[in-house]
C-alpha cells in the first residue's frame, strides 16, 4: 500500500476572516507535525479544517495525494483525538472503539475483534466490556486514541489531548502516541500550547517537525 | 445514591400530595358510584372499541409531534441566535391554549377542506403537544456535547448516521418520556375530539363525559374511566422503565453555540417554520378579535379592558380584567405548588428507593379524566365538613395535579445527569452532608424548578376542564369566560372571546420567556 | 440579574390584582366577607344561601342585590360546569349536598335527579302563577319550573336570499334534496341542543325516526361536536362556514341583535324555523340535606318572582315560566313563541336515552 501523506497547499483557515497566513506543508507517514502556539491563535481551527469539520477559506488539503478539500468529513478518513475523550456515552468501551470499523461496513463480530486488537495496542485489553463512566481520565483518553486508530485513518489529528492529564501520565501517553503513529505508519498532526511537548512529539520519532503559530 | 438528612424524607411531599389531592377525591367518588354490579359493565364492547380508536389516534399524534418537535428541540435549545428565548417561549404557547380556542382557530385556518376527522385531529394534537417534545427532549439534548457527533463523523459516519448512532441513543430516555406524555394527552383528549373529531377519533374521556353528563350512567362511566387509567398507567410505567435503563453518566449543560456555515440556513428555516406553525392559528385569532360584520373594529378589545360592556350590569361574564387577574393568581399559586411538590418528587427519585414509586404516582392524574377528578374533588372538599371552596384553593389544587407530572418529567432527567462528584467536592471542602448535597444539586434544581414552575403556571392559565367544576361561579378564569362567551350567539361574544384568547397567548408567552431567562441565569 | 424576571412577574401579578380589584365585579362576591354591609331586616343574623347553577346562568346584578338587601340573605353562586355535569354532581352528593338550591336541571335530566332523591319538596309561592302548560310540571312539588327555551332550526336568511332559494319550513324539508348539504346538527351524545333535536325527531316521527335520520344522512347532514363548533364553525352566519341551516335556539336571532357590534341592526339576519322545535324546561329545587331550608325557600320564591322572571330573557335568552311577564321588544319581534313544540315525557327520556343514542350512532355510522 502507498505510504500515506498529508499535504496542505496554501491552506487558508478561519471562519469569517482568515486567522493566519496560508499554510503549506507535508507530513510524511509515521511522523508527527507538532503545532504550537498560544491559545486562540487558530491551532484547533487548523485541525478542524484538515478534518473537514470547518470549511476552508482557500487552498487545498491533500491526503495520500488526493485533493479532499471538497469532501465531507466522513469521507476523509481523518481521525481526531480531542482534549476530552468524548467517548460515546451509551456504548461500552469496546463498542466505542468498534465504531469506526462498523461505519466502514465491517460486521459486528469483526469490528469487535478489531476493537479488542486496538485496545491491546494501548494496554487496555481487559476493559472492553466496561461502560465509559468507569474509566479514569488517562484510560478514557487511551480509549479515545484506540478508537481513532481502529477506523484505519489516513491521518491522525490530536488537539491538545494531554492538557487535562498530569505530568507522568502525559509523558506516558506521549510515548504511546508516538508508538502507535509509527506502528500504523500514518502522518499525524499534534497541537499543543506546550513547547516542550511539541519538541518531544516532533523529534521523538523520525521525520517530524514543529510549526509555530 | 442516598441523600442526607431531611432530603431522605422528600418523598413525603409527593406522597401527601397524591393522597390528599388524588386519592381522597377518587375514593369519595368511587364510594358513591361503584356497586357490585359495576363489574358487569366490563363486558360492554363500547369502551373497549373506543379504547382501540383512541390508541390508534394517539400513536399517530405522538409520531407527528416527534417529527415536528425534534428539529425544533435541536435548534431552540442548543443554538444561540437573536430572539431565541422568545421563539422557545412561543413554541410552548400552543400547549397551554384552551383546546376550544385551538379547535376554532384550526377550523378558521383550514376550513372544511380537511373537514373533521383523523387528519385534523392529529394535526391539532401535534400542534398542542410539540412543546412537550421541545422542552423535555431539549432539556436533555442541551446536556449532550455537540462534539460527540463531530467525533463520530471523523470516524466515518455521515451526519445522519452520527445522529442516529450517537445522539439518538443518548436522547432515548427523554424521547420515551416525551412520547409517553404526548401519547397520554392525545389518548385522553377531550376538547379537540369534541370540536374537531368524528367517529374514528373517539376517546374514553369523551365517553366518560357523555356517560356522566348526558346519560348519567355512572357505572359505565366508572368502567370507561378505569380502562383509561389502566392504559395511561401502563404507558407511564413503560416510560419510567426506559428512563431507568440507561446509565447516563455525568453530563453538563453546554453553552449555546452560534450556528455556522450551512447550519445557519437549517436553523433559520426551522425557526421560521416554528414561528409559522405556532402563529398561524394565533393570527386567525387576532384577526377574529378585530373583525366584525361592519369591518375592522376595536370594540371587542374595548370590552376586554372594561371601556365598554356587552353585558351591562349582568352577572353573565363579569369583568374580563378580573378574570385575568384571577387566572394569573391561580397560575402563580399552581406554579409554586407544582414546583415545590414536583421538585421534591424529583429529589425523592434520587434520594430514596420509594422515591421512584411516588414520582411515578404523581403522573397518575394524567390518566384520570377531568370529569372524574372534578367531581371527586367536589365531593371531598366542596361541602361540609371540609369545604374549601371559599378559599379559592380548589382550582390550584386541581391544576397542580395536572402540572406536577410535567415538573417531574422535566426535572428528573436533568437532576440525574448532574455530576454527583460535585457533592463529593463540596464535602471534601468541609460542607456538612446536606449542605454538600445542596451545593451539588442546588443550582440545577433551582434552574429546573424555575423553568418547570413556569410551565406549570402556563398550564394553569389555559386549563379548562377542572376549572369549570371548581371555580367560583362569580369568579371564572379566562378559559371559562372564553367558553361562556362561545356558548352564546352574536359576533360580540365571538370577538371578545377571540380577544381574550389573544391576551392568553401574550400572557403565556411572556410568562414562559421570563421564567426561562430566570432559569438559565440561576 | 436573575431577580429581574422574578420582579417582572411580581409586578405583572400585582398590577393584575390591583386592576381586578378596581374593576367592577359581580356583587355576589359579597360572600367574601361583606355580609355585614347589607341592612338586614328579616333575619336576626346574616344567612348565606348557596345557589348551584350551570355556566349559562346569569341575572342582572341589581336584581340580585335588591334581593339580598330586602331579604337579608347573602346569595352565593356555585358553579357546577355545564347542566349535565351539575346534575351529575348533585346526584353523587345527594343527601350531603354541595349547595342549598340547584337551578338549571332540565327536563332531559330531571328524572334521574328525582330518582336519586336529590330534592327537598317545596311549592313556591308563585307556583299558581305559572303558565298553564308548566303548572303540572312540578313532579309532586319537588321542583319548580323557572324558565323554558326552545331548541329550533335556525336559518341564515341572508344566505338564502342571496341564493334565491326559499328557506325550509318543516322537518321534512330538511330531508329534501333541494336542501342537500346545507344542514349542520350537533352530536346528541355530547351536546344538549343536539340531544334536544334528536328527541324532537323521535317525538315527531315515533318509530320511524331512524328512517328520518337516514334520509338526513343521505341528504348530506353534517354533525358537529358542540353548539359553538356548529354555530361559529359551520354556520354561514356565525363563523363563515358553509352551512346556512343549524340547530340552535329560538332566541338566537334576538341575541344576534343584542350582541352585535356598533349600531345594532334593525332586523337579525337569521330566523327560526318554527316546525320541529323541542321545548326545554329548566327547574329549580331545594337540595335535600341543606341546612338553610328557610333561606332556600326564599330563593326559590325569588326565582319565580316577577322581578327575576322579567330579568331572565335578556340575561339567559330563555322565556319566563311565570305567566303574564312582558318580554323585551327584541324578543317580541324576533323570538317566536312556539305553541306546538315537541316534548317527550321525562321518564321516557330517562329510560330510553341510552338506546336512542346507540341507535342514532348506528344509523349515522358513528
HEC assignment per residue over chain C: CCHHHHHHHHHHHHHHHHHHHHCCCCHHHHHCCCCCCCCCCCCCCCEEEEEEECCCCCCEHHHHHHHHHHHCEEEEEEECCCHHHHHHHHHHCCCCCCCCEEEEEECCCHHHHHHCCCEECCCCCCHHHECHHHCCCCCCCCCEEEEEEEEEEEEEHHHHHHHCCCCCCCHHHHCCHHHCCCEEEECCCCCHHHHHHHHHHHHHHHHHHHHHHHHHHHCCCEEECCHHHHHHHHEHHHHCCCECEEEEECCHHHHHHHCCCCCCCCCCCEEEEEEEEEEEEEEEEEECCCCCHHHHHHHHHHHCCHHHHHHHHHHHCCEECECCCCCCHHHHHHCCCCCCCECCCHHHHHHHHHHHHHHHHHHHCC
Task: Quote the cell numbers at residue B388.
Answer: 374549601
pLDDT at C289: 92
The Cα angle at residue B168 between residues B165 and B172, in degrees rounded to 5: 130
Distance (Å, rounded) from C-alpha C232 to C-alpha B493?
10
Residue C114: partners with Cβ closer than 8 Å, 6 or more residues away: C139, C142, C143
Chain B residue set in contact with A, beta carbons under 8 Å: 145, 147-148, 150-159, 161-162, 165-166, 169-170, 172, 246-251, 260-261
What is the mean pLDDT of the segment spanning B363-388?
81
Let me know: does C26 contact C59? Beta carbons within 8 Å: no
Residue ranges, chain A, pLDDT below 50: 1
Question: pLDDT-based confidence at B96, cuts 50/70/90?
Answer: confident
Nearest alpha carbon to residue C227 among C129, C163, C323, C154: C154
Task: Express each pLDDT in B28-78 by its tens digit.
Answer: 888 888 877 777 888 888 899 999 999 999 999 999 999 999 999 999 888
Torsion sign, CA atoms B229, B37, B49, C193: negative
For B353: left if phi > 0, alpha if psi spans -120 to 50, otherwise beta; the answer is alpha
Task: Give which of B315, B390, B455, B463 to mutate to test C binding, by max C Cβ within 10 Å.
Answer: B315
Chain B closest CA to A102's CA: distance in Å?
9
What's the mean pLDDT when you consider all of chain A? 88
The predicted model scores a pTM of 0.79
For residue A88, list chain B residues with Cβ-Cβ distance below 8 A: 148, 151-152, 165-166, 170
Q: With contact defined as beta carbons under 8 Å apart, do C137 and C110 qualify?
A: no
Our CA-based measurement puts residue C245 at a distance from the nearest CA of chain B, in whole angstroms, of 14
State how far the Cα of B107 lies from the Cα of B196, in Å rounded to an integer.
8
Residue of C42 and B374 predicted with greater confidence: B374
- Asked whether the predicted pLDDT for residue B251 surpasses 80, the reply is no
B475 pLDDT above the threshold of 70: yes
pLDDT tens digits, residue range B300-356? Answer: 888 888 766 666 556 667 778 888 888 989 999 999 999 998 888 888 877 777 767
**Does an interface of 3+ CB pairs under 8 Å exist between B and C?**
yes
Beta-carbon separation of B209 and C190 below 8 A:
yes
Chain C hits for B379, CB-CB cut-off 8 Å, are: 89, 92-93, 98
Q: Which residues of A touch B (CB under 8 A)?
A: 15, 51, 53, 55, 72-74, 77-80, 82, 84, 86, 88-91, 99-100, 103-104, 131-133, 147-148, 151, 153, 157
Q: What percent of chain B has pLDDT over 90?
A: 18
User: Cα A113 to the chain's mean position, in Å?
Assistant: 22
Residues in chain B with CB shorter than 8 Å from the CB of C317 are 488
Q: Which SS3 state, helix, strand or coil, does residue B314 take?
A: strand
**Cβ neighbour number for residue C148 with a 10 Å cutoff:** 23
Query: Which of B11, B3, B6, B4 shows the shortest CA–CA distance to B346?
Result: B11
What pLDDT sits at residue B473? 63
Say yes or no to pLDDT of B299 above 70.
yes
- Interchain contact, C232 vs B292, CB within 8 Å: no
Tell me whether residues B155 and A79 touch, CB distance under 8 A.
yes
Enumerate neighbours of C (3 or more CB pairs within 8 A).
B
Cα–Cα distances in angstroms (integers) from residue B410 to residues B9, B136, B240, B452, C324, in the given order: 21, 6, 13, 7, 63
User: Is the confidence at residue B246, as pLDDT, over 60?
Assistant: no
Chains B–C, number of C-beta pairs less than 8 Å apart: 249
Q: What is the mean pLDDT of chain C?
A: 84
Distance of CA A136 to the CA centre of its chain: 20
Q: Tell me if B195 and C233 make a contact (CB, 8 A cut-off).
A: yes
Whether ipTM > 0.85 holds is yes
| pLDDT of B34 | 80
What integer pLDDT is reported at residue A2 of this predicted model? 59
Q: Do A151 and B152 make contact, defined as CB atoms within 8 angstroms? A: no
CA–CA dist B212, B216 (Å, integer) = 5
Q: Residue B96 — φ and ψ, nearest 5°?
A: -105, 0
CA dihedral over C255, C261, C266, C272, signed as positive or negative:
negative
Specify the DSSP element, H or E, that contains B501. helix B491-521
Q: Encode pLDDT of A162-173 as tens digits.
A: 887 888 888 888
How confident is the model over C281-292, as pLDDT tens digits?
999 999 999 999
Supply φ then ψ for residue A56, to 5 degrees: -85, 155
Rounded to whole angstroms, what are the CA distances from C212 to B452, C120, C169, C175?
Answer: 54, 41, 16, 8
* A103 closest CB neighbour out of B157, B170, B247: B157
Q: What is residue B135's DSSP assignment? A: I
Amino acid at each position: 500500500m502507498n505510504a500515506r501523506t498529508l499535504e496542505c497547499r496554501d491552506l487558508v483557515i478561519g471562519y469569517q476572516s482568515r486567522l493566519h497566513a496560508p499554510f503549506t506543508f507535508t507530513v510524511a507517514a509515521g511522523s508527527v507535525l507538532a503545532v504550537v502556539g498560544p491559545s486562540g491563535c487558530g491551532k484547533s481551527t487548523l485541525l478542524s479544517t484538515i478534518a473537514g469539520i470547518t470549511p476552508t477559506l482557500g487552498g487545498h488539503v491533500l491526503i495520500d495525494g488526493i485533493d479532499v478539500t471538497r469532501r465531507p468529513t466522513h469521507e476523509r478518513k481523518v481521525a481526531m483525538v480531542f482534549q476530552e475523550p468524548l467517548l460515546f456515552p451509551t456504548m461500552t468501551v469496546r463498542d466505542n472503539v468498534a465504531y469506526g470499523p462498523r461505519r466502514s461496513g465491517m460486521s459486528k463480530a469483526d469490528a469487535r475483534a478489531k476493537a479488542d486488537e486496538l485496545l491491546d495496542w494501548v494496554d487496555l485489553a481487559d476493559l472492553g466490556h466496561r461502560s465509559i463512566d468507569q474509566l479514569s481520565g488517562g484510560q478514557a483518553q487511551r480509549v479515545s486514541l484506540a478508537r481513532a486508530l481502529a477506523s484505519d485513518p489516513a491521518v491522525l489529528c490530536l488537539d491538545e489531548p494531554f492538557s487535562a492529564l498530569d505530568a507522568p501520565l502525559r509523558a506516558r501517553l506521549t510515548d504511546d502516541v508516538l508508538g502507535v503513529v509509527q506502528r500504523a505508519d500514518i502522518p499525524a498532526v499534534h497541537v499543543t500550547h506546550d513547547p516542550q511537548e511539541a519538541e518531544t512529539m516532533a523529534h521523538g520519532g523520525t521525520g517530524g517537525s514543529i510549526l509555530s503559530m | 445514591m442516598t441523600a442526607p438528612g431531611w432530603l431522605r424524607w422528600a418523598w413525603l411531599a409527593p406522597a401527601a400530595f397524591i393522597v390528599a389531592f388524588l386519592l381522597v377525591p377518587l375514593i369519595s367518588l368511587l364510594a358513591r358510584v361503584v356497586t357490585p354490579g359495576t363489574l358487569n359493565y366490563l363486558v360492554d364492547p363500547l369502551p373497549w372499541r373506543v379504547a382501540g380508536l383512541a390508541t390508534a389516534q394517539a400513536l399517530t399524534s405522538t409520531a407527528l409531534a416527534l417529527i415536528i418537535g425534534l428539529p425544533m428541540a435541536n435548534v431552540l435549545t442548543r443554538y444561540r441566535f437573536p430572539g431565541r428565548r422568545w421563539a422557545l417561549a412561543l413554541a410552548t404557547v400552543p400547549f397551554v391554549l384552551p383546546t376550544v380556542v385551538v379547535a376554532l382557530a384550526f377550523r378558521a385556518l383550514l376550513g372544511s377542506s380537511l373537514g373533521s376527522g383523523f387528519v385534523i385531529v392529529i394535526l391539532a394534537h401535534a400542534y398542542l403537544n410539540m412543546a412537550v417534545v421541545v422542552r423535555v427532549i431539549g432539556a436533555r439534548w442541551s446536556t449532550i456535547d455537540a462534539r460527540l457527533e463531530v467525533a463520530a463523523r471523523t470516524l466515518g459516519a455521515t451526519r445522519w448516521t452520527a445522529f442516529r448512532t450517537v445522539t439518538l441513543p443518548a436522547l432515548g430516555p427523554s424521547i420515551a418520556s416525551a412520547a409517553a406524555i404526548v401519547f397520554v394527552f392525545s389518548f385522553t383528549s377531550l376538547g379537540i375530539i369534541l370540536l374537531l373529531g368524528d367517529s374514528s377519533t373517539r376517546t374514553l374521556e369523551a365517553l366518560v363525559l357523555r356517560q356522566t353528563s348526558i346519560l348519567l350512567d355512572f357505572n359505565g362511566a366508572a368502567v370507561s374511566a378505569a380502562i383509561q387509567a389502566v392504559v395511561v398507567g401502563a404507558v407511564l410505567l413503560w416510560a419510567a422503565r426506559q428512563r431507568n435503563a440507561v446509565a447516563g453518566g455525568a453530563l453538563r449543560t453546554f453553552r449555546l453555540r452560534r450556528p455556522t456555515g450551512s447550519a445557519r440556513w437549517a436553523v433559520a428555516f426551522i425557526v421560521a417554520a416554528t414561528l409559522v406553525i405556532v402563529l398561524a392559528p394565533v393570527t386567525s385569532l387576532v384577526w377574529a378579535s378585530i373583525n366584525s360584520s361592519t369591518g375592522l373594529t376595536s370594540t371587542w378589545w374595548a370590552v376586554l379592558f372594561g371601556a365598554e360592556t356587552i353585558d351591562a350590569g349582568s352577572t353573565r361574564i363579569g369583568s374580563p380584567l378580573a378574570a385575568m387577574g384571577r387566572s394569573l393568581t391561580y397560575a402563580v399559586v399552581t406554579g409554586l405548588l407544582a414546583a415545590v411538590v414536583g421538585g421534591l418528587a424529583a429529589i425523592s427519585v434520587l434520594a430514596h428507593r420509594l422515591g421512584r414509586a411516588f414520582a411515578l404516582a404523581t403522573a397518575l392524574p394524567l390518566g384520570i379524566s377531568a370529569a372524574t377528578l372534578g367531581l371527586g374533588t367536589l365531593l371531598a372538599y366542596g361541602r361540609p365538613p371540609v369545604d374549601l371552596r371559599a378559599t379559592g384553593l380548589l382550582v390550584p389544587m386541581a391544576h397542580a395535579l395536572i402540572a406536577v407530572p410535567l415538573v417531574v418529567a422535566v426535572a428528573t432527567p436533568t437532576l440525574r445527569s448532574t455530576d454527583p462528584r460535585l457533592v463529593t467536592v463540596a464535602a471534601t471542602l468541609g460542607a456538612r452532608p446536606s449542605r454538600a448535597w445542596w451545593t451539588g444539586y442546588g443550582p440545577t434544581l433551582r434552574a429546573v424548578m424555575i423553568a418547570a414552575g413556569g410551565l406549570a403556571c402556563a398550564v394553569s392559565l389555559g386549563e379548562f376542564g377542572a376549572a369549570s367544576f371548581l371555580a367560583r361561579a362569580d369568579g371564572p378564569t379566562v378559559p371559562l369566560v372564553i367558553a361562556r362567551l362561545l356558548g352564546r350567539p352574536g359576533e360580540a361574544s365571538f370577538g371578545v372571546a377571540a380577544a381574550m384568547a389573544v391576551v392568553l397567548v401574550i400572557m403565556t408567552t411572556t410568562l414562559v420567556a421570563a421564567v426561562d431567562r430566570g432559569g438559565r441565569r440561576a | 440579574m436573575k431577580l429581574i424576571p422574578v420582579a417582572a412577574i411580581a409586578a405583572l401579578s400585582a398590577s393584575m390584582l390591583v386592576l381586578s380589584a378596581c374593576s367592577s365585579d359581580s356583587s355576589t362576591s359579597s360572600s367574601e366577607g361583606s355580609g355585614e354591609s347589607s341592612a338586614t331586616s328579616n333575619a336576626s343574623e346574616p344567612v348565606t344561601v348557596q345557589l348551584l347553577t350551570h355556566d349559562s346562568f346569569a341575572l342582572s346584578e341589581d336584581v340580585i342585590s335588591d334581593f339580598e338587601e330586602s331579604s337579608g340573605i347573602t346569595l352565593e353562586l356555585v358553579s357546577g360546569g355545564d347542566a349535565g355535569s351539575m346534575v351529575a354532581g348533585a346526584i353523587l352528593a345527594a343527601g350531603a349536598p354541595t349547595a342549598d338550591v340547584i337551578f338549571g336541571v332540565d327536563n332531559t335530566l330531571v328524572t334521574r335527579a328525582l330518582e336519586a332523591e336529590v330534592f327537598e319538596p317545596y311549592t313556591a309561592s308563585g307556583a299558581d302563577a305559572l303558565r298553564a302548560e308548566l303548572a303540572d310540571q312540578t313532579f309532586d312539588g319537588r321542583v319548580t319550573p323557572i324558565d323554558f327555551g326552545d331548541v329550533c332550526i335556525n336559518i341564515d336568511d341572508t344566505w338564502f336570499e342571496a341564493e334565491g332559494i326559499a328557506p325550509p319550513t318543516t322537518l321534512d324539508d330538511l330531508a329534501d334534496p333541494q336542501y342537500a348539504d346545507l344542514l349542520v346538527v350537533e352530536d346528541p351524545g355530547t351536546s344538549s341542543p343536539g340531544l334536544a333535536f334528536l328527541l324532537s325527531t323521535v317525538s315527531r316521527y315515533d318509530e320511524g325516526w331512524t328512517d328520518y335520520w337516514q334520509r338526513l344522512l343521505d341528504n348530506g347532514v353534517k354533525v358537529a361536536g358542540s353548539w359553538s363548533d356548529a354555530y361559529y364553525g359551520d354556520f354561514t352566519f356565525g363563523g363563515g362556514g358553509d352551512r346556512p341551516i343549524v340547530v340552535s335556539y329560538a332566541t338566537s336571532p334576538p341575541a344576534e341583535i343584542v350582541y352585535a357590534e356598533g349600531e345594532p341592526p334593525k332586523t337579525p339576519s337569521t330566523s327560526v324555523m318554527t316546525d320541529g322545535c323541542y321545548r326545554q324546561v329548566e327547574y329549580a329545587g331545594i337540595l335535600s340535606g341543606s341546612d338553610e331550608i328557610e333561606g332556600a325557600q326564599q330563593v326559590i320564591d325569588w326565582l319565580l318572582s316577577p322581578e327575576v322572571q322579567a330579568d331572565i330573557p335578556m340575561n339567559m335568552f330563555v322565556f319566563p315560566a311565570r305567566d303574564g311577564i312582558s318580554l323585551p321588544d327584541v324578543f317580541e319581534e324576533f323570538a317566536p313563541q312556539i305553541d306546538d313544540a315537541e316534548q317527550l315525557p321525562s321518564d321516557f327520556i330517562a329510560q330510553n336515552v341510552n338506546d336512542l343514542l346507540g341507535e342514532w350512532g348506528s344509523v349515522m355510522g358513528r
